Chains A and B, each alone.
Chain A
Amino acid sequence: MFYRENGQFKSSYRADLALFPVAQDRWALWGLLVLCFVVVPFVASDYLFRAVITPFLILSLAAIGLNILVGYCGQISLGTGAFMAVGAYAAYNLQVRIEGMPLLLSLLGGGLCATAAGVLFGIPSLRIRGLYLAVATLAAQFFMDWFTNRAKWVTNDSSSGSVSVANLQIGGYAFETPVQKYLLCLGIVVLFALLAKNLVRGAIGREWMAMRDMDVAAAVIGIRPVYAKLSAFAVSSFIVGVAGALWGFVHLGAWEPAAFGIDKSFQLLFMVIIGGLGSIAGSFFGAAFIVLLPLFLNYVPHWLGLSISTATASHLEHMIFGALIVFFLIVEPHGLARLWSTARQKLRLWPFPH
């Protein structure tokens, strides 16, 4: 009744190509943005920002990057942690070694270094596919683990192997409090989400999806497989690299190589699968799910009056993750995003059944 497109006619292709053709969607999005930028800073607690909201934002960004590679272009990657590491360490080196380096440039520089690594490790995808590519990306992951551990110059010759970043500021405005850090991340994430959405709606997005669905036919209609695959790796790694830099700079503050290990890669892959492959919104859903689940598992027994040890909680978490992955793959391989769009479809008809 409320969510109908009645009366919303488009008289130009430009209008039809808009990001949210349905007016209600546009209003909802503006409302959400207002909520995030204006309301949340006053309402949420510092703990909530530090533990939930900011990590959720940064991981969503990384999930968008991974979704472009896995969901839109169909190239499976288990080395996402490695690219986050490249982004984080490159940004760190830029920030620390160059006097007066602006924060944003460091972040972008980190992204660009991750792009280079991504293209390099994406070259195997030109010859191999599917599960074989998965193993090749594992090579990237373990190599990077080793590299960031051994190569002393990466950590600026830090004796403990861990690095830290302080004093985030842009043009004199310092980002110290959780709220300020949140706003920084929010701005970056919203911008990148918009750019990513534009890419996947456009010609390059169609090339990626063509490669995913049938790469032989894609070549025949004039899509260059090399360009399509490597551009997917490049764009994906750039976004993942920036997310990695944000993760290190903003969320962790200080980190060592283990922060970007294979567990992170699996975590991101789960986000993308549960959230929905091939959906930008799905990346957000998946990230929210994965960030909230451990907290949920910690608090629910509390509320119910049961007490379980952290070890048991962690095991349960693993079991529930695993079970949910299988569940989603069986029931809704397109993830939460598909559930959401099905709900919206039903809303269009509500209160009528069909």
Chain B
Amino acid sequence: MGFFLETVFGGLMAGMLYALVALGFVLIFKASGVFNFAQGAMVLFAALAMARYAEWFPQWFGFQSLVLANLLAFAAAVATMVAVAWLIERLALRRLVNQEGITLLMATLGISYFLDGAGQLLFGSATYKIDVGMPKDPMMVLENTFQGGLLLSKEDLYAAMIAAMLVALLTLFFQKTRTGRALRAVADDHQAAQSIGIPLARIWVIVWSVGGIVALVAGIIWGSKLGVQFSISLVALKAFPVVILGGLTSVPGAILGGLIIGVGEKLSEIYLGPFVGGGIENWFAYVLALGFLLIRPQGLFGDKIIDRV
């Protein structure tokens, strides 16, 4: 039983990481109607920026403090992501206003390839460390209930708390503020939103910047845990099944979807894996999403899709 719970906790924590990536995704979809294939690449790009800035700034400016390096690196990384957002809006999105979803999807595919290449060109393609002072040591809980206690990672717990805070902030933003409503209008119909005076270009820069910052947070947490490497963008592909499960337009859905997939993956690997030679983790998320798509395409919390003739 203890092992089962540990697996579940481990899955929850992994799921939280997926959810963080999915958050940026949902944000961009909710507010610009674009299915951002490049979210994973953005996470990698942001993480690379953070890792390298934290490495370079002490060298360039000659100081030792890790905290200062991290702070400056974070600020610089945020600025970088805002610049990326601005460039994406200027060069790509602006010229694809009101195109069909497929066209925008393919465009983000192109952007993701571009960011992959650019990130590695600018920042290098080795594996880098991110050290923001997350505690690495594990902790034991519930020592009285289970023999020896359950092994939990403090780092994962911190990640979960950060993610929860982000979710709360973003949900509030979309539901309660005027800008949030404007963003939802934009997601619905670009041209209509423009015609009632919503400044599309500015909104898009804001949205993609926020998406980029969320990607940065996700990248920092991932990178701190796993090290910044190219495989992050592949793992981030898993964010797609997460948003399918949770609903493309739902912020809490992204979290719930991530948790379900995280736990589901781990459990299926441990308990079903031995029968089929292992490796279920690679496709479990996608097949689960496929199942959902057949039964309930809008996911757990998404808006129902209606076609009008």
Q: Are any A and B Cβ atoms less than 8 Å apart in their complex?
A: yes
Chain B contact residue count (CB 8 A cutoff): 45
Q: B96 contacts the other chain (Cβ, under 8 Å)?
A: yes
Measured in the bound complex, the distance between the Cα atoms of B286 and A11 in whole Å is: 55
Q: Of A74, A217, A262, A312, which is within 8 A of B121 by CB?
A: A312
Measured in the bound complex, the distance between the Cα atoms of B244 and A128 in whole Å is: 12
Contacts of A146 in B (CB 8 A): 279-280, 282-283
Given contacts A76-B105, A322-B112, contact A139 B290 (CB under 8 A): yes
Task: Evaluate contact between B121 and A323: CB separation under 8 angstroms.
Answer: no
Q: Of B35, B111, B282, B287, which is within 8 A of A326 by CB?
A: B111
Given contacts A317-B117, A319-B117, contact A330 B111 (CB under 8 A): no
Q: A93 contacts the other chain (Cβ, under 8 Å)?
A: no
Q: A156 contacts the other chain (Cβ, under 8 Å)?
A: no
Task: Evaluate contact between B106 and A273: CB separation under 8 angstroms.
Answer: yes
Task: Evaluate contact between B289 and A139: CB separation under 8 angstroms.
Answer: yes
Given contacts A136-B289, A142-B282, contact A329 B114 (CB under 8 A): no
Contacts of A18 in B (CB 8 A): none
Interface residues on A, range: 35 or more
Cβ of A145 to closest chain B Cβ, rounded Å: 7
B interface majority secondary structure: helix
Task: Evaluate contact between B107 and A325: CB separation under 8 angstroms.
Answer: yes
Task: Evaluate contact between B125 and A130: CB separation under 8 angstroms.
Answer: no
Contacts of B180 in A (CB 8 A): none
Task: Evaluate contact between B121 and A315: CB separation under 8 angstroms.
Answer: yes
Measured in the bound complex, the distance between the Cα atoms of B91 and A329 in whole Å is: 12
Q: B1 contacts the other chain (Cβ, under 8 Å)?
A: no
Q: Of A132, A150, A266, A330, which is within 8 A of B277 by CB?
A: A150
Q: A226 contacts the other chain (Cβ, under 8 Å)?
A: no
Q: B192 contacts the other chain (Cβ, under 8 Å)?
A: no
Cβ of A64 to closest chain B Cβ, rounded Å: 19
Measured in the bound complex, the distance between the Cα atoms of B289 and A324 in whole Å is: 31
Cβ of A341 to closest chain B Cβ, rounded Å: 20
Given contacts A131-B101, A150-B276, A323-B114, contact A143 B106 (CB under 8 A): no
Task: Evaluate contact between A322 and B117: CB separation under 8 angstroms.
Answer: yes
Contacts of B237 in A (CB 8 A): 138, 262
Q: A175 contacts the other chain (Cβ, under 8 Å)?
A: no
User: B residues engaging A (CB < 8 A)?
Assistant: 35, 91-92, 95-96, 99, 101-103, 105-107, 109-118, 120-121, 125, 237, 240-241, 244, 276-280, 282-283, 286-287, 289-290, 293-294, 297, 307, 309
14 CB-based A-B contacts, threshold 8 Å: A74-B102, A76-B105, A124-B290, A136-B289, A136-B290, A139-B287, A145-B283, A149-B279, A266-B109, A315-B117, A321-B113, A322-B112, A325-B107, A326-B92
Query: Across chains A and B, which 7 residue pairs bring their CB atoms closest together, nearest first?
Result: A325-B110, A322-B114, A318-B117, A322-B113, A139-B286, A319-B117, A142-B283
